[in-house]
Amino acid sequence: MKRLRNPRLRRFLPPLKNAAKKHPLEDEDVVRILSIRSKLHLKSVFKYYKEVSGEDMEEDVKACPSLKHTVECLSTPHTYFSKVLEKAINLEADDKVKEGLTRIIVTRADVDMKAITKVYNKKNAATLTDTIGRMANGNFKDFLLTLLARGG
Protein backbone atom coordinates (compact mmCIF):
# COMPACT_ATOMS: atom_id res chain seq x y z
CA MET A 1 0.00 0.00 0.00
CA LYS A 2 1.25 3.47 -0.83
CA ARG A 3 2.27 5.91 1.84
CA LEU A 4 -0.67 8.17 2.63
CA ARG A 5 0.49 11.62 1.57
CA ASN A 6 -2.53 13.73 2.23
CA PRO A 7 -3.62 13.81 5.89
CA ARG A 8 -7.00 15.36 5.06
CA LEU A 9 -7.86 12.51 2.70
CA ARG A 10 -6.15 9.89 4.85
CA ARG A 11 -8.87 9.97 7.50
CA PHE A 12 -11.58 9.09 4.94
CA LEU A 13 -9.87 5.98 3.65
CA PRO A 14 -10.43 3.50 6.54
CA PRO A 15 -14.22 3.87 6.77
CA LEU A 16 -14.58 3.64 2.99
CA LYS A 17 -12.20 0.70 2.67
CA ASN A 18 -13.96 -1.13 5.51
CA ALA A 19 -17.32 -0.59 3.82
CA ALA A 20 -16.76 -3.78 1.83
CA LYS A 21 -16.45 -5.81 5.04
CA LYS A 22 -19.74 -4.87 6.67
CA HIS A 23 -23.03 -3.36 5.58
CA PRO A 24 -21.75 0.12 4.65
CA LEU A 25 -25.02 1.94 5.17
CA GLU A 26 -24.87 0.93 8.83
CA ASP A 27 -21.48 2.63 9.12
CA GLU A 28 -21.98 6.17 10.37
CA ASP A 29 -18.65 7.33 8.90
CA VAL A 30 -19.49 6.13 5.37
CA VAL A 31 -22.91 7.79 5.42
CA ARG A 32 -21.41 11.00 6.82
CA ILE A 33 -18.64 11.13 4.21
CA LEU A 34 -21.00 10.58 1.28
CA SER A 35 -23.70 12.92 2.52
CA ILE A 36 -21.92 16.04 3.78
CA ARG A 37 -18.90 16.38 1.51
CA SER A 38 -18.98 18.38 -1.73
CA LYS A 39 -18.80 16.58 -5.07
CA LEU A 40 -15.40 18.11 -5.69
CA HIS A 41 -14.10 16.80 -2.37
CA LEU A 42 -15.64 13.36 -3.00
CA LYS A 43 -13.94 13.18 -6.41
CA SER A 44 -10.62 13.78 -4.64
CA VAL A 45 -11.48 11.10 -2.08
CA PHE A 46 -12.43 8.61 -4.83
CA LYS A 47 -9.25 9.36 -6.77
CA TYR A 48 -7.13 9.01 -3.65
CA TYR A 49 -8.94 5.79 -2.74
CA LYS A 50 -8.00 4.31 -6.11
CA GLU A 51 -4.37 5.43 -5.77
CA VAL A 52 -4.06 3.85 -2.35
CA SER A 53 -6.18 0.72 -2.73
CA GLY A 54 -5.69 0.02 -6.43
CA GLU A 55 -9.46 -0.41 -6.90
CA ASP A 56 -12.27 1.90 -7.88
CA MET A 57 -14.54 2.47 -4.94
CA GLU A 58 -17.52 1.17 -6.97
CA GLU A 59 -15.80 -2.23 -7.12
CA ASP A 60 -15.19 -2.36 -3.39
CA VAL A 61 -18.79 -1.50 -2.46
CA LYS A 62 -20.60 -3.57 -5.09
CA ALA A 63 -21.95 -5.90 -2.40
CA CYS A 64 -24.27 -3.06 -1.34
CA PRO A 65 -26.19 -1.97 -4.48
CA SER A 66 -27.57 1.27 -3.03
CA LEU A 67 -24.10 2.39 -1.97
CA LYS A 68 -22.65 1.33 -5.34
CA HIS A 69 -25.28 3.46 -7.11
CA THR A 70 -24.53 6.40 -4.82
CA VAL A 71 -20.80 6.21 -5.44
CA GLU A 72 -21.29 5.75 -9.19
CA CYS A 73 -23.70 8.70 -9.35
CA LEU A 74 -21.25 10.91 -7.48
CA SER A 75 -18.11 9.81 -9.33
CA THR A 76 -19.39 9.34 -12.92
CA PRO A 77 -22.85 10.94 -13.09
CA HIS A 78 -23.22 10.95 -16.87
CA THR A 79 -22.50 7.24 -17.09
CA TYR A 80 -24.77 6.51 -14.13
CA PHE A 81 -27.70 8.50 -15.56
CA SER A 82 -27.19 6.90 -18.97
CA LYS A 83 -27.49 3.43 -17.38
CA VAL A 84 -30.65 4.46 -15.53
CA LEU A 85 -32.13 5.74 -18.81
CA GLU A 86 -31.30 2.45 -20.55
CA LYS A 87 -33.11 0.48 -17.84
CA ALA A 88 -36.07 2.89 -17.78
CA ILE A 89 -36.59 2.71 -21.55
CA ASN A 90 -36.75 -1.09 -21.48
CA LEU A 91 -40.34 -2.16 -22.20
CA GLU A 92 -40.17 -4.85 -19.49
CA ALA A 93 -39.14 -2.34 -16.80
CA ASP A 94 -41.51 -1.95 -13.86
CA ASP A 95 -43.17 1.39 -13.11
CA LYS A 96 -40.63 2.38 -10.46
CA VAL A 97 -37.74 1.92 -12.90
CA LYS A 98 -39.65 3.73 -15.67
CA GLU A 99 -40.01 6.76 -13.39
CA GLY A 100 -36.25 7.17 -13.79
CA LEU A 101 -36.75 8.34 -17.38
CA THR A 102 -38.88 11.31 -16.40
CA ARG A 103 -36.88 12.06 -13.27
CA ILE A 104 -33.57 12.23 -15.11
CA ILE A 105 -34.78 14.21 -18.09
CA VAL A 106 -36.67 16.71 -15.93
CA THR A 107 -33.94 17.21 -13.31
CA ARG A 108 -30.96 17.18 -15.66
CA ALA A 109 -32.40 19.10 -18.66
CA ASP A 110 -30.81 22.40 -17.66
CA VAL A 111 -27.75 20.87 -16.02
CA ASP A 112 -25.96 18.21 -18.07
CA MET A 113 -28.48 16.41 -20.27
CA LYS A 114 -26.27 16.99 -23.30
CA ALA A 115 -23.42 15.02 -21.73
CA ILE A 116 -25.78 12.25 -20.56
CA THR A 117 -27.29 12.02 -24.05
CA LYS A 118 -23.79 11.80 -25.55
CA VAL A 119 -22.87 8.86 -23.26
CA TYR A 120 -26.21 7.16 -24.00
CA ASN A 121 -25.86 7.61 -27.76
CA LYS A 122 -22.31 6.24 -27.70
CA LYS A 123 -23.41 3.07 -25.89
CA ASN A 124 -26.61 2.36 -27.86
CA ALA A 125 -27.50 1.77 -31.49
CA ALA A 126 -30.33 4.32 -31.49
CA THR A 127 -30.12 7.86 -30.16
CA LEU A 128 -31.96 8.76 -26.96
CA THR A 129 -34.23 11.10 -28.91
CA ASP A 130 -35.16 8.38 -31.43
CA THR A 131 -35.73 5.82 -28.70
CA ILE A 132 -38.02 8.12 -26.71
CA GLY A 133 -39.78 9.08 -29.94
CA ARG A 134 -40.61 5.40 -30.53
CA MET A 135 -41.54 4.38 -26.99
CA ALA A 136 -43.48 7.38 -25.63
CA ASN A 137 -46.85 8.73 -26.75
CA GLY A 138 -48.82 11.96 -26.89
CA ASN A 139 -48.12 14.89 -24.59
CA PHE A 140 -45.66 12.85 -22.52
CA LYS A 141 -43.57 12.19 -25.63
CA ASP A 142 -43.72 15.87 -26.65
CA PHE A 143 -42.77 16.93 -23.12
CA LEU A 144 -39.72 14.64 -22.95
CA LEU A 145 -38.53 15.51 -26.46
CA THR A 146 -38.89 19.24 -25.74
CA LEU A 147 -36.79 18.90 -22.61
CA LEU A 148 -34.21 16.83 -24.48
CA ALA A 149 -34.00 19.41 -27.25
CA ARG A 150 -33.61 22.19 -24.70
CA GLY A 151 -30.99 20.38 -22.65
CA GLY A 152 -29.30 18.20 -25.17
User: Would the CATH topology of 7-75 be identical to that of 77-151?
Assistant: yes
Architecture field, domain 7-75: Orthogonal Bundle (1.10)
8 vs 53, which has greater pLDDT? 53
Which residues make Cβ contacts (< 8 Å) with residue 77, sequence separation at least 6?
A: 112, 116
With 80 as the cut, is the pLDDT of residue 10 above it?
A: no
- How much is the pLDDT for 144? 96
- How much is the pLDDT for 112? 94
With 90 as the cut, is the pLDDT of residue 138 above it?
A: yes
With 80 as the cut, is the pLDDT of residue 3 above it?
A: no
- Any idea where the domains of the chain sit in the sequence? 7-75, 77-151
Q: Report how far Cα 130 is from the mean position of its chain's Cα atoms.
A: 23
Length of the chain counted residue by residue? 152
- How much is the pLDDT for 4? 47
The CATH fold assigned to 77-151 is: Annexin V; domain 1 (1.10.220)
With 90 as the cut, is the pLDDT of residue 117 above it?
A: yes
- How much is the pLDDT for 2? 47
The mean pLDDT value for 45-66 works out to 84
The mean pLDDT value for 98-119 works out to 95
Which helix (H) or strand (E) is 82 found in, with range?
Answer: helix 77-89
In this predicted model, what pLDDT tens digit does every residue of 65-100 receive, in sequence order? 888 899 999 989 999 999 999 999 998 999 999 999
What CA–CA distances, in Å, run from 25 to 15, 46, 68, 115?
11, 17, 11, 30
45 vs 85, which has greater pLDDT? 85
In the chain, the percentage of residues whose pLDDT exceeds 70 is 85
What distance in Å separates the CA atoms of residue 92 and residue 112, rounded to the nearest whole number?
A: 27
The mean pLDDT value for 13-34 works out to 71
Q: Are 105 and 147 in contact, with CB atoms under 8 Å apart?
A: yes
The gap between the terminal CA atoms of the chain, to the nearest Å, is 43
In angstroms, what is the C-alpha Rg of the chain?
18
Instruction: Read off the pLDDT band of 9 (50, 70, 90).
Output: low
